[in-house]
């Protein structure tokens, strides 16, 4: 009796776990902070470039002056493409490997960026290698983007990500799931950031305080107004994250004060409502002027009807492999927010499973790896 495709793919992924871990170790041992050591980051990027070229991809390089270079690997053909997005930069500064070395212990693989998210690229590589070796071609042309500044909010890459997403059928994000086998990320909050500068008038606080226009008083009045925008029922959060005015131990009412506000919303209209409210803030202290800089950084990745349909297709493929998917709503953003902003049907968190991203305890669950590889391979084969 011949084995069905899902079983053949899963059997191959199980056989190849050692190879997976060897490649993941090599990727993790090439440290790649977003900024600070372009040479090191480029070495990591070239490692992935070579890996995907050896697989038969055509890889183009997008040079970057500050962060590591970015890459687009293309595989197969067909008129409509599937867009896969990941990043090889990590939040860990150079030298982290000394205190947080690659190691396998108790069924977990540890090391900077193993989970978030070098593992997602190795998973994609292995899914493709298995499909190739079993003679099962992906249904569409694949375009795989290797980002290098995602951890900084993708300033140099977001336009390209959105353009690629616009010209693709689906966008699959190789960011990690959570710690359980079937975890994926079905929605992510959007984010806006505002810097509010209160311009007032400085004066001696003992001799002529009446001549001051106090930015401290102004900002102190603004904070409760901002706090009132929090809407727990909609998971809307509005949080001041920075406050600064004056010089301590001087008898001076300062002339300027600064406040930064971080906004998260799960729905685009809600984000617009909060942004309009912040941009509409008016000073209440006489002679103080408000300068409000900022706006939407990322729109939410919403669980739309189309995204839900994609989730259901992925869930059906997972069930053939013996597990079910669980979609999670996540506060933090990813490049999936940008593909969603571009209007692309998106599923995020298809990478490996584990915990403690951005933390020295970061780990990947080993026993889930073959199943996550097989799920991705089936998505590439059938979407």
Q: Single out the segment in contact with Zn ion by CB under 5 A; choices: 112-120, 317-325, 346-354, 375-383.
A: 112-120
> Are 189 and 265 contacting, i.e. CB atoms less than 8 angstroms apart?
yes
Q: Which is nearer to Zn ion, 42 or 175 (CB)?
A: 175
With binding defined as CB under 5 A, does residue 117 bind Zn ion? yes
Size of the site for Zn ion (CB under 5 A): 3
Measured from the CB atom, is 153 or 240 closer to Zn ion? 153
- Contact stretch for Zn ion (CB under 5 A) within 60-68, 91-99, 173-181, 250-258: 173-181
CA max distance for the chain: 95
Can you spell out the DSSP letters for 180-206? STTEEEEEE-EEEEEEEEEE-B-EETT
Q: Which is nearer to Zn ion, 90 or 214 (CB)?
A: 90
* Closer residue to Zn ion (CB): 116 or 164: 116
User: Is the CB of 173 or the CB of 245 nearer to Zn ion?
Assistant: 173
Q: Is 181 in the site for Zn ion (CB under 5 A)?
A: no
Contact between 192 and 294 (Cβ < 8 Å): yes
SS3 state at 194:
strand
Q: Could you tell me which stretch among 175-183, 244-252, 274-282, 289-297 binds Zn ion (CB under 5 A)?
A: 175-183
> Which CB sits closer to Zn ion, 147 or 214?
147
Find, among 223, 54, 71, 248, the residue nearest to 149 by Cα. Answer: 71
Q: Which of 116, 335, 348, 362 binds Zn ion (CB under 5 A)?
A: 116
Find the shortest distance in angstroms from Cβ 53 to Zn ion.
Answer: 24
Piece in contact with Zn ion (CB under 5 A), picked from 169-177, 190-198, 239-247, 324-332: 169-177
Angle 369-382/119-133 helices, nearest 10 degrees?
60
- Cβ of residue 176: shortest distance to Zn ion, in angstroms? 7
Q: Provide the minimum distance between the beta carbon of 352 and Zn ion in the complex, in angstroms, as a whole number.
A: 11
Give CA–CA dist 283/291, Å, rounded: 10
Contact 115, 183 (CB under 8 A): no
In whole angstroms, what is the distance from residue 330 CA to residue 327 CA?
A: 10
Task: Quickly list DSSP for 256-308.
Answer: EEEEEEEEEESSHHHHHHHHHHHHT----STT-EEEEEEEEEE--B---HHHH
Residue of minimal CB distance from Zn ion?
A: 116
In 10 A of CB 86, how many CB atoms? Answer: 26
Cβ 348 to Zn ion, closest distance in Å?
Answer: 10
Q: Would you say 164 or 335 has its CB closer to Zn ion? A: 335
Cβ at position 120, least distance to Zn ion in Å: 8
**List of residues contacting Zn ion (CB under 5 A):** 116-117, 175
């Amino acid at each position: 009796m011949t084995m069905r495709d899902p079983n053949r793919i899963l059997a191959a992924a199980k056989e190849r776990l050692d190879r997976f871990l060897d490649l993941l170790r090599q990727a993790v041992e090439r440290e790649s902070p977003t900024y600070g050591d372009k040479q090191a980051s480029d070495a990591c990027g070239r490692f992935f470039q070579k890996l995907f070229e050896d697989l038969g991809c055509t890889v183009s390089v997008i040079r970057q002056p500050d962060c590591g270079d970015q890459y687009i690997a293309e595989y197969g053909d067909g008129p409509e493409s599937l867009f896969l997005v990941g990043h090889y930069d990590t939040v860990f500064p150079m030298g982290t490997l000394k205190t947080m070395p690659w190691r396998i212990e108790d069924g977990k693989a540890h090391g900077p960026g193993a989970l978030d998210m070098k593992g997602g690229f190795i998973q994609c590589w292995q899914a493709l290698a298995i499909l190739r070796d079993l003679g099962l071609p992906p249904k569409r042309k694949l375009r795989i983007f290797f980002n290098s500044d995602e951890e900084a909010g993708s300033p140099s890459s977001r336009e390209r990500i959105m353009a690629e997403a616009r010209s693709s059928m689906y966008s699959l994000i190789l960011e990690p799931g959570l710690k359980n086998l079937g975890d994926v990320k079905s929605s992510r909050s959007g984010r806006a950031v505002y810097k509010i500068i209160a311009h007032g008038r400085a004066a001696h606080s003992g001799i002529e305080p009446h001549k001051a226009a106090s930015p401290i008083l102004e900002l102190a009045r603004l904070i409760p107004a901002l706090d009132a925008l929090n809407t727990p029922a909609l998971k809307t959060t509005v949080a001041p994250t920075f406050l600064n005015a004056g010089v301590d131990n001087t008898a001076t009412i300062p002339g300027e004060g600064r406040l930064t506000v971080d906004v998260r919303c799960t729905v685009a209209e809600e984000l617009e409502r909060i942004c309009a409210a912040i941009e509409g803030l008016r000073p209440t202290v006489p002679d103080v002027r408000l300068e409000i800089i900022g706006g939407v950084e990322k729109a939410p990745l919403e669980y739309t009807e189309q995204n839900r349909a994609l989730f259901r297709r992925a869930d059906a493929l997972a069930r053939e492999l013996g597990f079910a998917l669980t979609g999670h709503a996540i506060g933090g953003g990813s490049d999936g927010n940008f593909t969603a902003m571009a209007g692309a049907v998106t599923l995020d968190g298809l990478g490996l499973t584990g915990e403690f991203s951005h933390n020295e305890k970061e780990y990947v669950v080993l026993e889930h790896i073959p199943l996550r590889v097989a799920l991705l391979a089936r998505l590439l084969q059938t979407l």
